[in-house]
Amino acid sequence: MIWAHKDLIGIQDLGKDDIENIFDVATSFKEISTREIKKIPPLRGKTVVLLFYEPSTRTRMSFEIAAKRLSADTIALSASGSSFEKGETILDAARNIMAMAPDCIVIRYPYAGSPKLLARALPCSIINAGDGFHEHPTQALLDIYSMREHFGYIDGLNVLIVGDIMHSRVARSNVYGLKKFGANVTLVAPKTLLPLGTDEWGVDVCTEFDSVIPDADVIMMVRIQKERMQQRFFSDEREYAFFYGLDKSRVEQMKEGAIIMHPGPLNRGVEITYDATESARSVILNQVENGLAIRMALLYLFLGGGKRVD
């Protein structure tokens, strides 16, 4: 297997074959986390820098565990307690990091475009762990992998992405990836939370959640960021939950075999209720589990582990 990419900036940069490669490697790695000794040596002596300018538990932890299970060394840098507070630019910071010869920088940044900037400027692999409202490619990969794991295929699946689409890099990356695999994607949100230009995304748009539930194979709920509520994108949490929350009655309208997804962290009682997360339809924790396998696969492929297999 040959892996030709230096960086992972967005799903848009990957071909369908690339994604299938990633999925195959991830599948072989899923088994490792079930072993007594959860560690293999392919990235021994490699250094992975985790450069997180935004709070994150699961994504940072997922990358950190992924790197360690492959025997890489990790260095975690967060915005607080660092010289980024002293006014250093992201590019200067990254060039400094580069001078210490890491093999990969995993970056989360509050503004779109920074991972691409770094990818152009630095010789090491850059993996985008979320940049502003742009992309969150590793989340989309794990989401699509989780769908394929459940259904065995993606082509023709009816996927609803519900919630704050405008501010969601998760939604954007999922749309790009799902379209490559032939899924029918419908964005469900109040108009104030839909971005401009979705007519070029090749998706349907709908403001009436209830009308599209019965045909959906996948309902992917997107997080409502409470900190944006005062900006009046919608009236209040209760009203939002009434129109767009996934609760017991909506779960009951779902067709047989349909699944519930959420990238986390959950705002219980707002976009999703306990009935939904605890239902047998929920694959939310499978997503997290698959996220680890996907990130192991990405580190393996981008850091040259892939060159060693045929």
Q: Which positions lie near a copy of itself, rule CB under 8 A?
A: 33-39, 44-47, 49, 52, 55-58, 61-62, 64-65, 68-69, 73, 75, 77-78, 80-89, 92-93, 95-103, 226, 264-268, 285-286, 288-289, 291-292, 304
The CB-of-161 to a copy of itself minimum distance in angstroms stands at: 20
The CB-of-266 to a copy of itself minimum distance in angstroms stands at: 6
User: Phi, psi at residue 206, to the nearest 5°?
Assistant: -150, 140
Nearer to a copy of itself, 185 or 270 (CB): 270
The answer to whether 299 and 250 are in contact (CB under 8 A) is no
Nearer to a copy of itself, 80 or 231 (CB): 80
The residue count for the chain: 310
Tokens 């909506």 map to which residue?
Answer: 250
The CB-of-237 to a copy of itself minimum distance in angstroms stands at: 12
Integer Cα distance of 74 and 95 in angstroms = 18
The CB-of-202 to a copy of itself minimum distance in angstroms stands at: 31
Nearer to a copy of itself, 153 or 274 (CB): 274
Measured CA to CA in angstroms, residue 292 lies from 30, 33, 120, 249, 288 at distances of 8, 9, 27, 32, 7
Please give the order of strands across the beta sheet that includes 184-188.
Answer: 204-206, 184-188, 158-162, 218-221, 259-261
Nearer to a copy of itself, 92 or 252 (CB): 92
Nearer to a copy of itself, 69 or 148 (CB): 69
**H or E element, residue 52:** strand 47-52
- Which ranges of the chain would DSSP assign to H, the alpha helix? 16-30, 58-69, 90-98, 114-121, 137-151, 169-180, 209-212, 237-244, 248-253, 274-277, 284-302
Nearer to a copy of itself, 95 or 255 (CB): 95
The CB-of-100 to a copy of itself minimum distance in angstroms stands at: 5
The CB-of-210 to a copy of itself minimum distance in angstroms stands at: 26
